[in-house]
């Protein structure tokens, strides 16, 4: 029999508030920002339920009508047009963050469906993945920057570079609107529902990636690329390098950097960068990190 992965999409609209009653109003505002405002805010959530199994004689892994009914019964009818903080008892102790909602959805469905992954989009630029590993989850932020580059090796002639890189070796370079997805992994806090503070996560991406790279000519403006060809693959590795320490600083681990150069080309690198002590001491990335460390530390 052939194993197959299938996916079912669902939607629900709901509101929530990040608020812990044991904290004062000031403390809640400091920790959760605008998400602590009364009476809360809402999202149009999009859910993808991934399941795996063998293809049966009828050509199906599962009857999708049955799958739809199960998701509607166990999840959608309970969450749609609800205030999540009180919609389920699971959210009374752990706040309904994106990552925690994904975890609770898994718990509601695991007895009924052969789950592989739950992906929940809070909006198109923020989503969480959960795979049934206790409090372990992934959180992804999507963003973009624009930059120019030229693909060429200094040791080669123009003709030789064009043989390797084609039009990308043209002397004056060319540009892209890069789409970037950064995923972190960590333990969901049993009270706040968070892997890490979302604001600090977004701030790290902005300070270490977007602000330095946006509207630059990578070969000339970023010292790292003075001797390294700024292919999409190498740019992704660079982003992995500059984000590894800031993400650790907010209490999570870098899981994946996905860089989409164009609708036809993308690449992904997984895990944290391997940075030796000597490299950290001498690298421009560490200098930037240390410069910004006080702000991140104050926010922790």
Catalytic residue annotation:
168, 215, 261
Q: How many CB atoms lie within 10 A of CB 26?
A: 9
217: buried, middle or exposed (CB in 10 Å: 19+, 13-18, 0-12)?
Answer: middle
Which 3 state secondary structure label does DSSP give 219? Answer: helix
262: buried, middle or exposed (CB in 10 Å: 19+, 13-18, 0-12)?
Answer: exposed
Pull the structure tokens for residue 169. 């070796």
Per the CB < 8 A criterion, the answer to whether 292 and 207 are in contact is yes
Which residue's structure tokens are 């669902």? 10
Pull the structure tokens for residue 57. 């004689």
Which 3 state secondary structure label does DSSP give 233? Answer: helix
| 160 phi/psi in degrees, rounded to 5 | -65, -40
Mutual angle of helices 198-205 and 232-249, in 10-degree steps = 140
């Amino acid at each position: 029999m052939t194993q197959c992965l299938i996916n079912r999409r669902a939607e629900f609209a709901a509101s929530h508030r990040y608020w812990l009653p044991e904290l004062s109003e000031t403390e809640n505002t400091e920790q959760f920002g605008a998400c602590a405002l009364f009476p809360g805010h809402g999202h149009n959530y999009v859910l993808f339920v991934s399941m795996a199994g063998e293809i049966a004689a009828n050509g199906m892994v599962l009857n999708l009508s049955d799958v739809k009914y199960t998701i509607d019964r166990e999840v959608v009818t309970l969450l749609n047009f609800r205030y999540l903080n009180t919609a389920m008892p699971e959210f009374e102790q752990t706040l309904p963050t994106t990552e925690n909602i994904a975890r609770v959805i898994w718990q509601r469905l695991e007895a009924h469906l052969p789950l592989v992954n739950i992906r929940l989009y809070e909006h198109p630029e923020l989503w969480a993945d959960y795979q049934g590993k206790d409090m372990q989850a992934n959180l992804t932020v999507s963003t973009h920057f624009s930059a120019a580059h030229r693909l060429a090796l200094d040791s080669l002639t123009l003709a030789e570079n064009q043989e390797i890189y084609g039009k990308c070796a043209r002397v004056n370079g060319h540009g892209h609107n890069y789409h970037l997805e950064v995923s972190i992994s960590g333990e969901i806090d049993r009270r706040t529902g968070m892997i890490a503070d979302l604001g600090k996560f977004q701030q790290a991406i902005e300070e270490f990636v977007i602000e330095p790279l946006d509207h630059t000519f990578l070969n000339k403006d970023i010292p790292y690329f003075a001797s390294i060809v700024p292919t999409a693959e190498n740019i992704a590795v660079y982003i992995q390098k500059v984000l590894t320490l800031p993400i650790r600083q907010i209490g999570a681990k870098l899981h994946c950097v996905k860089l989409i150069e164009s609708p036809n080309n993308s690449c992904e690198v997984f895990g944290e960068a391997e940075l030796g002590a000597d490299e950290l001491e001498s690298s421009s990335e560490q200098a930037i990190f240390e410069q910004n460390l006080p702000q991140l530390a104050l926010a922790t």
